[in-house]
Structure 1
């Protein structure tokens, strides 16, 4: 009976997926002559794209041209600090009056030490300004290899494991990434517009927290007793609700976001912000930061969700994973209108013992109540994989696909990537970047990888672009506005590609 049920569920999901993918966006049902032209352009674009992915070796240069021009809706899994390229952070050093240690490649923020270094002749300096870094090609390239993934895959010397290298980049550029927020958002916006991305939902800032050693001890003791844990969280939440210093920190936090975001939105582009907690901290710090994030999201409409970040395979992350999900469940019951988007299952076989691959996505959905799932790399290993996919399909919960990131950090790519399951069984998905500055790519590149590796139809690609608005945490009115913009952008794009297609020689 169970086997028949499983087969039935999967078959139904497959049928639903095929039907959804085959359906063009509603705006394509156009009875007028103008709409007939648009439909013809769409069909020509589909033929053009099909030619680019045909054969054993897709035409990646032409796909790059195609996807750079194609409207991509939005980017829903996007880390602000990891999105900016190292070049930007180096440029900001002088603005802050800081320098980079020539040996460790870490930032020196002590103004007296920096002044002393600047007084020395260049050849005698151990700490370099922005111009000094660029002037010394060896130092510049060494810095890039620590502040990003540059040269990792073509470098022959002994290296750190890729996941360690990735997460350690934030320790290098971290100090300067916490400066010049408005300028950084403008750079992200302008780069997005250049590649026809109209919306970004970025994980911008960690919400404030406080430490409470007694809460830590009690939380670990109560981790398996839901009633006791809920009572503990409720008691401290009530104390924090009346804590003027804590609430002042939240007010300052939202004010900084509003200041940084001023003037970012316009007719071409919209940005919204997720706050996040760091799963590597002690329970009191995680819970108070989580509470601050939920409170901030209720106070400021620019903050559309709460997330949790930090290397999932790290010991503290694994130890406290279920505890964190229970914290989300508790706060979601208090603030039911706040959306949560959780990094879950960013794990591969060998990262952790096999049994630790079996429950992270499940708990993010069924304990925490996640509205979207980030990564979901371990999907095939989850004990409840069929139930997970059915739930995400039935409840319309999207998963964020980050191909470059998953290949670099976890070594998961090609037919080993869970996007193959997601597509087969009708789970909603979006294509996103993760940390494009660290791994030195962009959203167009993610679409190139997706198309060249998995050869989806043009209708499916177009649906993925619309999905990145549909599954955003925006209010419905804003979604409708961006969907209408996307309709217009696709009409223009498809007209241009139809014209380009007419230029192709018949034998090509």
Structure 2
């Protein structure tokens, strides 16, 4: 059964007529059943057929990628290319980007053999330094190189500090790369966390926020006064307008008949309360100002001291703004924690507060579920309210060591909580959406109907108007019809190793 978004009457009629036309003679149904039997062969037995699953999912339409960070999605190699575009260089000792123009000019005046700061071309010519850069700027070779290295979570989050000076520019080119890569692996929609929403600090607000944090009425009153001050701040409102303009400019030329991209404003949870709240206000205002910006998120390592200290504060800020902007969608990183990342009591409430206080429409990661104090009621609430979880298998394995039967996707499946498969930061951890489906299939042995539902779910739970979700769903119907016909042709002429040939018709 495919997951469908709400249709308007007209769009429902169009979809129904199209489906009737496809199924009138039965080939689509036959091909779907044959594809299901072929897929069952790939996941059956003692070990799944990894190469065959990779081939299968590379071809399969995957709908959308709903948990996607722009800066972490680009591969480090492209960030190296961006150096020369911005006239920057990389220090061959620290592997960091030099942005001081005086230092760069002084380096360029030196003979090539004496330079410590390398351009893109010079970096490519210095293979040892180039390889080190890729290892510092991503997880490349993390599992197979013998150099002294930081713990995985530190390695992951430190990468953003290395490539930050170039990830904050060249947006149009970066988005085009992500689009082309998505099209090549049959992904029709991306919802990316694109740019940090602008913010403004206020030390008086910070002090007051911590003082009244336990009194909801007093805290809401404080937020209301601060919001009113921001609304009257011409410079702040100008920064929001500029923010929207930059996103709309970068997005020009991305959408076409086969591919759609939308953008989430995000807030950094590592900042002070006034900066976080003002950034939230900017994010909600940006969504209200542009149809291309479809939601607000909060990012940053959840186990950091500031993230843990202010977590409840941030959830109450979201609640305050969500009540004022009920149509603005919110997807929150919540529960991206494993046993040992923080003291045990820190694992007890993050997803619960994101759902029940911040009123999140989607949850990102959600891996501390089994430790949550209110876990059973939370599962029931998420199922009933259709609050999906964005599952990021590679990321959770690399950063938090959560994988296989220890991953709570097993619980979400068991209790009927909706979820989608997504990438998180595919450039940093060097994978793609097809690989995430391969991991899901090889670890949890779903049937074809389930993986197909997941593809449709990634459109059903997208932060898009109903008409746009209906269009993408109809497009997905057509893509699956072609895919299943191609799989039947492929599987009719091949037999998985050690398996008897399946009767497909």
Interval containing the TM-score (normalised by the shorter chain): over 0.9
8 Å contact kept, 1:30–1:36: no
Match of 2:93 among 75, 97, 103: 103
Listed one character per residue, the Cα deviations across residues 342-371 of structure 1 (whole Å, up to 9, x for unaligned) are: 000000000001111010000000000000
**Pairing 1:469–2:462 present:** no
**Pairing 1:69–2:69 present:** no
**Pairing 1:47–2:58 present:** no
Match of 1:446 among 419, 423, 436: 436
**Pairing 1:425–2:425 present:** no
CA distance in 2, matches of 1:20, 1:181: 35
Mind listing any 5+ residue stretches in structure 2 that lack a counterpart?
A: 4-14
Q: CA deviation at 1:472?
A: 0.5
**Pairing 1:174–2:164 present:** yes
Listed one character per residue, the Cα deviations across residues 424-469 of structure 1 (whole Å, up to 9, x for unaligned) are: 1100000000000000000000000000000101000000000000
Q: 1:94-173, aligned counterparts within 5 Å?
A: 94-173=84-163
Q: CA deviation at 1:141?
A: 1.0
CA distance in 2, matches of 1:326, 1:226: 8
Q: CA deviation at 1:121?
A: 2.2
Match of 2:395 among 397, 402, 405: 405
**Pairing 1:197–2:187 present:** yes
Q: CA deviation at 1:242?
A: 1.0
Equivalent position of 1:13 in the other structure: none
Match of 1:252 among 227, 239, 242: 242
Find the residue that maps to 1:152 and give its secondary structure: coil
Listed one character per residue, the Cα deviations across residues 306-365 of structure 1 (whole Å, up to 9, x for unaligned) are: 000000000000000000000000011111111100000000000001111010000000
Find the residue that maps to 2:423 and give its secondary structure: coil
Give the root-mean-square deviation of aligned CA atoms: 1.6
Moved beyond 6 Å, runs of 4+: 26-29
Q: CA deviation at 1:33?
A: 6.2
Equivalent position of 1:359 in the other structure: 349
Equivalent position of 2:489 in the other structure: 499
Q: CA deviation at 1:179?
A: 0.7
8 Å contact kept, 2:90–2:96: yes
CA distance in 2, matches of 1:435, 1:236: 34
Equivalent position of 1:222 in the other structure: 212
Find the residue that maps to 2:65 and give its secondary structure: strand
CA distance in 2, matches of 1:368, 1:357: 17
Equivalent position of 1:231 in the other structure: 221
Equivalent position of 1:268 in the other structure: 258
8 Å contact kept, 2:330–2:362: yes
Mind listing any 5+ residue stretches in structure 1 that lack a counterpart?
A: 1-18
CA distance in 1, matches of 2:147, 2:424: 27
Distance 1:242 1:380, change over 3 A: same
Q: Answer with 45-54 or 406-415: which moved more.
A: 45-54
Query: How many aligned positions are there?
Result: 487
8 Å contact kept, 1:74–1:197: yes
Match of 1:490 among 477, 480, 487: 480
Q: CA deviation at 1:155?
A: 2.1
Match of 2:374 among 384, 391, 398: 384
CA distance in 2, matches of 1:292, 1:202: 17
Distance 1:422 1:260, change over 3 A: same
Q: Answer with 494-503 or 118-127: which moved more.
A: 118-127
8 Å contact kept, 2:2–2:452: no
Equivalent position of 1:288 in the other structure: 278
Listed one character per residue, the Cα deviations across residues 411-431 of structure 1 (whole Å, up to 9, x for unaligned) are: 000000000001111000000
**Pairing 1:88–2:81 present:** no
CA distance in 1, matches of 2:432, 2:387: 24
8 Å contact kept, 2:22–2:28: no
CA distance in 2, matches of 1:403, 1:383: 24
Match of 2:300 among 303, 310, 320: 310
Give the TM-score taking structure 1 as reference length. Answer: 0.94
